[in-house]
Structure 1
Amino acid sequence: MSQKRAILSVSDKTGIIEFAKGLIELGYEIISTGGTKKVLEQEGISVISISEITGFPEILDGRVKTLHPNVFAGLLAIRANEDHLKQLQEQHVDLIDLVVVNLYPFKETISKPGVTFEEAIENIDIGGPSMLRAAAKNYQDVAVIVDPTDYQAVIEELKQEQMLSLAAKKKLAAKVFRHTAAYDALIAQYWNDQLEEVFPEKLTLTYEKVQELRYGENPHQKASFYREAISKQGLAYAKQLHGKELSYNNIQDTNAAWEIIKEFKQPAVVAVKHMNPCGVGVGKNLSEAFTRAYEADPVSIFGGIVATNQMVDEDTASRLKEIFLEVIIAPGFTEQALELLTKKKNIRLLELVEGEGASSKKVVSVLGGLLVQDQDKKQINAEELKVVTKRKPTTEELEQLQFAWKVVKHVKSNAIVLANGQQTVGIGAGQMNRVGAAKIAIEQAGELAKGAVMASDAFFPMPDTVEEAAKAGITAIIQPGGSIRDEDSIIEADKHGITMVFTSIRHFKH
């Protein structure tokens, strides 16, 4: 039997010493480069320098060391092809049976604050991906490992069977192609960012698995949760403090709640059901904000998701534990709050401290493709509002209009939100016509519609929504404007003494 040989060249040294020792015990000859060679030799492991294999020194500050026919011919030769073996013999090239490589830390490099473009470029690996791809292409003859978590299983199988099964080598090779594809995707993304290529001609995305989910939206659908490879922000990086595993629908709803809560600076609580807010409240403290969010719709909050923008204290926790909730997500929980809430076995408690969202782009899948757009982060202030009616809003109405506008932005279109006293009192979501959404919101609000304000995510195509608002006693309306029939709605508002302001901004959410 010919001498078995392995190339070990890793940036992540985790477990490499133990793995190398295991290979030595199995009779492998170890070939290595640079830093890996030093680490192994320090542990008394016999190592052959890559330069001895290539007959060429490492040059250009290590940029060129493995890129040589003596390496790649040894990897790519098909053992069952007699002509391949004859050519190797003629060129005095030996076979290589195992490759263990993980790549220059490009991701870690570009994640560092203040990293320069030159530093990032120097951490683009060339020889590593080339060896990995060569070995993976020739998977039937060469085993290739890119993940330290695979070391133990490989050693155990080699000890038991003296060789890896074809199935094992195929699995390892597939992981290599995923790994190098993700690596290249990060490099492409970095270059896009540097050159401000917002929508490049080819879009390559990479995500890392967070967890496999029990199922998707429904039990017959399989699902997993992935996160962006670079960003450390967003729901994918929340820390779960308590409760059972998150479901697909939990994640969707919790993300919707977190996106809404980020709209508010003052103490706020958002309750979400099926990706729509069912109650939003702000107050002088979190307990007051929760009271308003709960009272906005005490029925729909049951089994819902609650998000807060402040640490959950004991007082608020004592209120939260009295109702059945799937998830509570907050910047933190006091010890007393955790003690109270963790008495409920299944409730998920998530801690997430961050400002803006993880990505500047929103990606949605459609059959056969992706839609990519900017995140809707547009906000308005009072100075940008245009009063189009005879009556101007009072200071109180203006505050409530801005509050309602922040909420309606996150309600599925067609959307209408009614607010009264810094809390939502009626929400009409996802209706096929705008007046239908208004009627739902008004019915939900009941008597609280009197004196309330109304927000609409898009313009009124006709005055019927204003008519419904007037009948309910609503005093102020905020909407984008821009309809060819805007004047009809303005006349109707003036007729009933309703003040109406235009934002010139639409917030469709499909």
Structure 2
Amino acid sequence: MGKRALISVSDKTGITAFAKELTEAGYEIISTGGTLKTIQEAGIAAIAIDEVTGFPEIMDGRVKTLHPKVHGGLLGKRSNPNHMQQMEENEINPIDMVVVNLYPFKQTLLKEGVSKEEIIENIDIGGPTMLRSAAKNFEDVVVVVNPADYDAVLDAAKKDELSIELRQQLAAKVFQHTANYDAMIAGYFAEQTGEEFPETYTVTYEKVQNLRYGENPHQIAAFYAAPLRDGVSLASAEQLHGKELSYNNIQDANAALEIIQEYDMPAAVAVKHMNPCGIGIARDLSDAFKLAYDADPVSIFGGIVALNREVDKQTAEQLSEIFLEIVLAPDFTEEAKEILTRKKNIRLLALDTMRSQAIAHKLTTVSGGALIQHQDTGQVVSNDLEVVTKRKPTEQEVEDLLFAWKAVKHVKSNAIVLAKDNQTVGVGAGQMNRVGSAKIAIEQAGEKAKGSVLASDAFFPMPDTVEYAIKAGVTAIIQPGGSKRDQDSIDVCDEHGIAMVYTSMRHFKH
């Protein structure tokens, strides 16, 4: 008996040409439903699955390939005499190739207004089962799940060179594909049942691109995206200019994206090593960028800039005066693009930075495991602030305090941010003690520290940070509160007429 190929695909891209060449290579085609109709309408000989099984497709197509004559033909080991004898006794013929892709579950979930019934009906059962059967028996069965592999499989089939190495590579793709498919289904049901952290946590990502290297040249790396991402995502950005993004570029750009989304007014954020080195907001984008630049004109060199308005000519001219790795913005005017693309190496990324990010889990790998938590989407408004000192902050101080609080949330702990007039003037990040971060921020601010406000991502265990800030000229402080020695810091503030407010919310970032 000649070779047989079972073809049943939802994505029919290139299937008629593939089936035609398979028949020319000596394969008999078995097919199902819409795939059978497509193949036959193209003038290609094919037989229906029910002619093989002797059983009709039933239940609106829910049951058609789940049959011993299908799976026996896939799972029977050709080298096992007992298998071959049982196949003969049960009139089961071998199937040598399976070409299957699955009901579009991902695309169905992403459809606007989709019903639960439609989602459930797009959970493929027969397809994954055939794929897994064929992949398990890859030594005897060639399995193709991706149309991108059609040409390579045809070339090998025509030359009768479907090697064990190729078969195993194709089988590996199948199990990767079905794992991805099942992970999306598991995620859907977990969401429907409200199970936040199930006993087994399954996630899946799809490759966007290989990267030249990771954080350092001796580390290999790749960039993956969540298949069902909702809201704004760096993986959805359109690159308008410049060379490929690096691992560090992506990390920094994502940090910049998260920060820029804190601000509603025209804003500019400069990021270096995943920490903001300058943030400014103003009525005009170019003024906002000037504030971000002036906040730290040294550290911004070679950094990432994110903006939340279309980049115009004036802003582009300012951006072009310094070396930047990436500019991320909702869009660029033609004049702005003409100015910025004169620089060969700058990357321009277009992404709707005004669109909010979906609340998602944050996953961090540790040796042999992972930590999973909600993203930090906590926010504070003026009505949430608790004034704990005798002096209340002025209206301008409250504005600056909230501005600084949004910034300190995105600075590595221990974190201190000084701000004044909608501009960060000093950032202290990642020190082993809080006063160390304060010293860095105050030293960076210099004379700008006078009349500024200070934000701390966590409480003060002792009053030394407050004392140091007061000496520098800070007039108001925002912090979570909650230390056993809170009163010591309050007393120091009251002694010097400084305002302090509590948020009752901590923003550690490790």
TM-score normalized by structure 2?
Answer: 0.99
Task: Give the counterpart letter for 2:239 in structure 1.
Answer: Q
Task: Give the counterpart letter for 2:196 in structure 1.
Answer: V
For the residues of structure 1 that align with 2:11 and 2:263, how far apart are their CA atoms? 42
Task: Give how far 1:242 is off.
Answer: 0.5
Task: Give how far 1:115 is off.
Answer: 1.4
Secondary structure of 2:13 counterpart: coil
- For 2:272, the equivalent position in structure 1 comes to 273
Task: Give the counterpart letter for 1:307 in structure 2.
Answer: A
- For 2:54, the equivalent position in structure 1 comes to 55
For the residues of structure 1 that align with 2:288 and 2:161, how far apart are their CA atoms? 64
* Of 143, 165, 186, the match for 2:163: 165
Structure 2 unmatched ranges of 5 or more: none
Q: Structure 1 residue 213 and structure 2 residue 211: aligned?
A: yes
Within-5 A mapping of 1:237-316: 237-316=236-315
- For 1:408, the equivalent position in structure 2 comes to 408
Query: Are the counterparts in 2 of residues 241 and 351 from structure 1 also a CA contact under 8 Å?
Result: yes
For the residues of structure 2 that align with 1:87 and 1:485, how far apart are their CA atoms? 80
Task: Give how far 1:359 is off.
Answer: 4.6
Provide the aligned C-alpha RMSD in A. 0.8
For the residues of structure 2 that align with 1:376 and 1:85, how far apart are their CA atoms? 59
- For 1:491, the equivalent position in structure 2 comes to 491
- For 1:458, the equivalent position in structure 2 comes to 458
- For 1:229, the equivalent position in structure 2 comes to 227
Task: Say which is worse superposed, 363-372 or 298-307, in terms of deviation.
Answer: 363-372
Task: Give the counterpart letter for 2:432 in structure 1.
Answer: M
Secondary structure of 2:60 counterpart: helix
Secondary structure of 2:317 counterpart: helix
Task: Give how far 1:128 is off.
Answer: 0.6
- After superposition, the C-alpha distances for 1:101-149 in whole angstroms (9 at most, x for unaligned) are 0011111111111212121111111111110000000000000000000
For the residues of structure 2 that align with 1:72 and 1:306, how far apart are their CA atoms? 56
Q: Structure 1 residue 430 and structure 2 residue 430: aligned?
A: yes
For the residues of structure 2 that align with 1:94 and 1:113, how far apart are their CA atoms? 44
Secondary structure of 1:61 counterpart: coil
Query: Are the counterparts in 1 of residues 301 and 322 from structure 2 also a CA contact under 8 Å?
Result: yes
- After superposition, the C-alpha distances for 1:166-201 in whole angstroms (9 at most, x for unaligned) are 000000000000000111000000001111111111
Task: Give the counterpart letter for 2:166 in structure 1.
Answer: A
Q: Structure 1 residue 365 and structure 2 residue 365: aligned?
A: yes
Q: Structure 1 residue 397 and structure 2 residue 393: aligned?
A: no
TM-score normalized by structure 1?
Answer: 0.99
Task: Give how far 1:272 is off.
Answer: 0.3
Query: Are the counterparts in 2 of residues 215 and 223 from structure 1 also a CA contact under 8 Å?
Result: yes
- After superposition, the C-alpha distances for 1:292-346 in whole angstroms (9 at most, x for unaligned) are 0000000000000000011111100000011000001011111100000001011
For the residues of structure 2 that align with 1:362 and 1:103, how far apart are their CA atoms? 29
Task: Give how far 1:370 is off.
Answer: 1.0
- For 2:348, the equivalent position in structure 1 comes to 349
For the residues of structure 2 that align with 1:158 and 1:379, how far apart are their CA atoms? 60
Task: Give the counterpart letter for 1:473 in structure 2.
Answer: G
- For 1:505, the equivalent position in structure 2 comes to 505
For the residues of structure 1 that align with 2:92 and 2:438, how far apart are their CA atoms? 78
Q: Structure 1 residue 479 and structure 2 residue 479: aligned?
A: yes
Task: Give how far 1:163 is off.
Answer: 3.8
- After superposition, the C-alpha distances for 1:347-383 in whole angstroms (9 at most, x for unaligned) are 1100111522245211111111111111111111101
For the residues of structure 1 that align with 2:14 and 2:500, how far apart are their CA atoms? 67
For these two proteins, the number of residue pairs brought into alignment is 508
- For 1:156, the equivalent position in structure 2 comes to 155
Query: Are the counterparts in 2 of residues 296 and 425 from structure 1 also a CA contact under 8 Å?
Result: yes
For the residues of structure 2 that align with 1:87 and 1:390, how far apart are their CA atoms? 90
Q: Structure 1 residue 17 and structure 2 residue 16: aligned?
A: yes
Distance 1:368 1:213, change over 3 A: same
Task: Give how far 1:496 is off.
Answer: 1.0
Query: Are the counterparts in 2 of residues 231 and 359 from structure 1 also a CA contact under 8 Å?
Result: no
For the residues of structure 2 that align with 1:392 and 1:359, how far apart are their CA atoms? 34
- For 2:385, the equivalent position in structure 1 comes to 385
Task: Give the counterpart letter for 1:61 in structure 2.
Answer: D
Query: Are the counterparts in 1 of residues 359 and 377 from structure 2 also a CA contact under 8 Å?
Result: no
Query: Are the counterparts in 2 of residues 276 and 410 from structure 1 also a CA contact under 8 Å?
Result: yes
Task: Give the counterpart letter for 2:506 in structure 1.
Answer: R
Distance 1:431 1:176, change over 3 A: same
Task: Give the counterpart letter for 1:167 in structure 2.
Answer: E
Query: Are the counterparts in 1 of residues 8 and 32 from structure 2 also a CA contact under 8 Å?
Result: yes
- After superposition, the C-alpha distances for 1:6-62 in whole angstroms (9 at most, x for unaligned) are 000000000101100110110100000000000011100111000000000001111
Q: Percent of aligned positions with the same letter in both sequences?
A: 65
Task: Give the counterpart letter for 1:186 in structure 2.
Answer: M
* Of 168, 182, 194, the match for 1:184: 182
Task: Give how far 1:86 is off.
Answer: 1.5
For the residues of structure 2 that align with 1:450 and 1:87, how far apart are their CA atoms? 89
Task: Give the counterpart letter for 1:144 in structure 2.
Answer: V
For the residues of structure 1 that align with 2:161 and 2:411, how far apart are their CA atoms? 58
Query: Are the counterparts in 1 of residues 461 and 483 from structure 2 also a CA contact under 8 Å?
Result: yes
For the residues of structure 2 that align with 1:192 and 1:93, how far apart are their CA atoms? 40
Within-5 A mapping of 1:119-134: 119-134=118-133
Task: Say which is worse superposed, 241-250 or 350-359, in terms of deviation.
Answer: 350-359
For the residues of structure 2 that align with 1:6 and 1:135, how far apart are their CA atoms? 11
Within-5 A mapping of 1:138-149: 138-149=137-148
Query: Are the counterparts in 1 of residues 388 and 501 from structure 2 also a CA contact under 8 Å?
Result: yes
For the residues of structure 1 that align with 2:250 and 2:389, how far apart are their CA atoms? 42
Q: Structure 1 residue 324 and structure 2 residue 320: aligned?
A: no
Query: Are the counterparts in 2 of residues 79 and 85 from structure 1 also a CA contact under 8 Å?
Result: yes
Task: Give how far 1:92 is off.
Answer: 1.3
- After superposition, the C-alpha distances for 1:84-107 in whole angstroms (9 at most, x for unaligned) are 111111111111000000011111
Task: Give the counterpart letter for 1:471 in structure 2.
Answer: K
Task: Give the counterpart letter for 2:148 in structure 1.
Answer: T
Within-5 A mapping of 1:38-53: 38-53=37-52
For the residues of structure 2 that align with 1:245 and 1:163, how far apart are their CA atoms? 37
